[in-house]
A and B are shown apart, each in its own frame.
Chain A
Amino acid sequence: MKHNFTLIMLLLLFCLATNAVAQQTDVSGRVTGAEQGMALPGVSVLVKGTTTGTTTDANGDFRIQVPGSDAILVFRYLGYETREVNVGNQSVINVTLNTDTRQLSEVVVTALGITREKKALGYAAQTVETEDLVRNRQPNVLNALQGKVAGANISSTGGAPGQGTNIIIRGINSIDPSQSNQPLFVIDGVLIDNSTSTFGAGAELRGMSNRLADINPDNIESINILKGGAATALYGLRGANGVVVITTKKGEQGALRVNFTSTAGIEEVNKFPDIQDTYTQGYLGVYDPNSFWPSWGPTVAEARQIDPTHPDKLYNHFRDAYETGHQYRNTLSFSGGSEAITFQSSLSHLKHEGVLPFTDFENYSAQLNTNVKLSDKFSTGANFTFTKSGGKRYNADRFNESLSYWSPRWDVTDFRKPDGTMQTYRNNNPIYGAATNQLEDDVNRFIGGLNFGYKPLNWLDLNYRIGVDTYHDDRTRTAPGPRGVPDEITYEDNRQGFVNEYTTKFRAINSTFIATLNSSLGENFNGTFRLGHEVYDRSIKSFGVEGEQLALFDYFNLTNARFLSPVQREEDYRLMGIFAEASVDYRDFLFLTLTGRNDITSSLARDNRSFFYPSVSLSYVFSEHLDLPAFINQSKLRLSYAEIGKDAPPYSTSSGFANYTGLPTGFTGFTRSALLGNAELRPEFTNTYEAGLEMSFLDNRLGFDFTYYYSLSEDQIININVATTTGFVRAAVNSGSMRNRGVEIVLNAVPVRTNDFSWDSRLVFSANRNKILSIREGLEEIAYASQFGYVGATVTMKLIPGQPYGNIYGSHYQRYYGPGEEEDPLFIDEDRPIVIGANGFPVRAPLASQKILGNAQPDWIAGFTNTFTYKNLSLTSLFDAQIGHEKYNQMGNFFAAFGIAEYTENRNQTIVFDGVLKDGTPNTKPVFLGQGIGPDGVNYTNGFYRNVYRGVSENFVEDASWVRLRSLTLSYSLPNKWFENLFIRNAGVSLTGNNLWLSTDYSGFDPENSSTPAGSNVTGFAGFTYPAVRSYLFTLNVGF
């Protein structure tokens, strides 16, 4: 019934507006731009003080009827200074408009492709242009945005080729850890999928790509990040986590232009953990070259006396196991066109071989953008992109875990015997695993959009767009079975050999219709009214067959498997929105925008599926209104409020029985579904408030943009993990509320600007504070993730009211509390002494006491870009920081358990632990840290590190703050005179170094990475990750 309303409103407006045309004197003329003298089409021409107006046609010509000779015409055009002209007795008025050079008048692409003057926006918006994007030559668009956008926390999940990257804008909004907090991605108006699929056995830990990896940054003209509720309101609930609006390069009228860009480079692991190099293989100090235990043996010198074949020093198996990676990307593009048709097309190829052996990623893409202008009134355009991407993925978690078990007494790079079986002394050789246990994905994707623009009347603009994003994601997971040769040791995960085949078919269609009505509402007011309708229809079907136990050990064909089991999953989702936007501006300094959207979603039950939410935003360009000192340039104040609705993940309303997968072919069984569905689910709402101040000074040499936001999400839809004693694994509930508030600051400065030399500087800073205000009644906490740690060191991420999202809980040392002193149940009091047991070792508090050991959300993030340009040479550096967050280092836990960590070198020492006994008196008992019988004759069994240290989570939740030189790029555009007589138009070369410098206290690999796939909200675990890389890249760009 909301459709009816829209329709009636639309018809009414047609009628209203048509009445406004009926006049007397004729005036005509042409409007041109001052700079090139080009005709300006679409300039608004208005009789001042009336609602009479028109716009110029394609040749810049206009014709308007004015009431008399005292009339004043107002010429207004985006990006140009507004001009007023007295009509007098002229019948032909030719006008030249000057370019508006003031900073804030830049045009930005906002929601649904609507372009608006930046000064009119009542909310923060940040644009990243192509030169900033491509500078650090990142294959993944999201990585290219790192450190450049205030309020966006972007993290690589690891350094694997094609590995996913996570982006969170203005903090986590959903309490539900399984709900995506990733923003919506829109390319040329088409809503595209950026999910990270983990479909298929074991894909979770294989660093699968986020689907934005299919997009070549070289094809992008600009990216606009819409952060707050008011900015994204028109996108509806799918934009609730922010929207990233990507505009690709378009062709320009003129001769054919050809551009070729080639990048090649190498990369290496940027940070390795420190490992001990004194103790060799064995246990209890006893050397055994076949022992499972990599480092609890005697010293190397002692072992060499027993075993002369022992190498004179241990290998550094972590450094040895990783290689130098390579990548290259070539992009060839063509653009040009006539007055009627313009086009841009490109072909590109990326090949990326990772630092972890046998991992790679390849991407081929072809793209075509065309725009056709059929007449002054009608235009149409099409964008098509085809991508084929994928590569060999390996489980970096498993690789590093196996490396931790590997004894550095042996050379890990000698991984294969001549007969093809695993070379090992006993334990799994991780490189052999990477070589044989493979998951290869192959994605064929098509993204296409068609748009039609129709402008029947000069105040009415109709636009329709239909877009499709569809792909097949085929995955093949294989491992050879035992070869049956003598003395064969198989790689554990390869089992009896397997071949798994998976396919996902994804299809999303989205259709958008927008009618725009422009009108002048008297002398000082201008109004724009938009009405729109949008449908999003998504269908995902995944299926696969898992074949186990291969007859011929390396014939990876399902017919060669003894046991076959199928998997299948389907999901459909539909969403429709009807929206309206009204904006009014008053004398070019006050801009008010109101929006409303009503969504109807398929993921909620009928009674709750339709819901409405509004937004309002105001921009006050006070520099245009008030008389300010000359050193202040354009400055404005922004205020906005928005309510955003959100629906549930598909099928949260239903429960039932799922196929039970434990039975062999020939038996069918059903089992209770893991999710307890809830038909009563209601939409959740977030209220956001935002205020901002933008100012620029000293001829725009200095400027800042400050934003404060506050958002409160209530009645959240959560699929909480529940105790299995309920018979379910998860349950869908409406409960809980969460708050985010924060600041974003962008500082721009041009400290030096001369003819030959300039220095541009930009700092982006943001800080977000999150607090869980309440969770479900009756629940004290929601545990949403945990990661294993030895003997009680397992850590859990839990939501506890009053605490922020991202807290990591775990076991801790017992602190001393005197009589009558009460212990805080959540926080460790670091100032108190640790309680030492009668045996002389620190005491772990009972496991039931799990305290806050850290939080995975950074206190603040910042990016600092400096560009120095001297003539044709430019140098850009980007420093990036994430400060004030902790992560659980599972690898650190294993390093303690297996005596790998450098600090375990003190195992031959006898020390007195600092702390007090149960009764509060100081501990004085010396204890031996090693294994077995100590120098004092006491049996220390497995030793301090295994008996005590590895079992205390507190030891392994580390400060993960970092500061890095994210990128350094030196580029040189070759002087044009060098190839004046050649067919080359322009050429440039650049050298880029990424991750050249990293400062962190974290003891594992680069702490930016995460054990969980991109898109996951579990960011507190960073142990066995695919290590981050430092890369050196050379780029050549030639235009013809």
Chain B
Amino acid sequence: MFELSTDVGNLKELREGDFSAYDAIYLGDFSCPEYPNNFSSHAELLEAGLQHVHANGQKAYLRLYAVPGNDDLDWVGDVIDTALQLPFDALEVHNLGVLRMLRERGCTAPIHLGVFGNLYTHETAKVLKDHGVTRVYPNPELSLDEVRYIAEHADIEVLVPVHGKIPLVISETCFILEHSEEGAEGGCGEGSCSYQCTQEHWLKRGRDDGSRADWSLKDTGRMTLSGKDLCMVEHGERLAGMGLKHFYVHNKGEAPGYAAAVGHIYRDALARAFAGEAAGDFAPALDTLAGLAREGLCNGYYFEGAGQRYIGRDR
């Protein structure tokens, strides 16, 4: 009927978390190869992760590093070589060079284009289909109508994020480390990471006197995320009515338990919407979701506004 997926960075999180609300798991943190035991950069952990997911009756997709430099291509190639020997249900790429590497290696598994793949149109989706891409994650700037247009006119699966922070920026170096004592001593990129990203970091701009807009962004080191959590729980009926079928909860950077709490709410809401049942009262779900969102909720760009706006019950 529909697929609900989320992301998990490593084996420990996979084993300790509750991901039972999801049909599929994107394994790996595509933003940071240094993230501890990251599936995206540890070929030796792929089989265990894959088996765990498949044993739960879920699909397993492998995320490949999003912004590899020339020095990264060898190890990214090693990860790909290992992955292609395993029955992953799909591999996710963000980088067109990595897409080319997959094709050069004879990849026959489905390929998903990730959020930093800059997919804006159906015409571009058609070009990427010729390179083996079967699913695209349209740029978050697109409206729901545009997302649907791409799905219909390129005849391709589209991944529709329904909850969680919106990836806004990705960089090849770690902003947290660069502004730490270690980074000042040249530690960045030399395997000396002490994982300060386990603490929440935020960028803020407001001033008490109101002379600056009160804007917040979350920073995970190599990625900057929206301050607010995208929330579409009130709009399941509309999503189902648009023929969209592949939904996603962004989990990277969130505390343990986030994916479980959010996932069960959306499993229920989407199941009702797809079954044509009355949606019921969203207030309890919204209260829970708002409680998990330090800076509040938004709809991203889905309703043709800038990313921070929320349409629905006043949040």
Is this pair of chains taken from one and the same complex? no
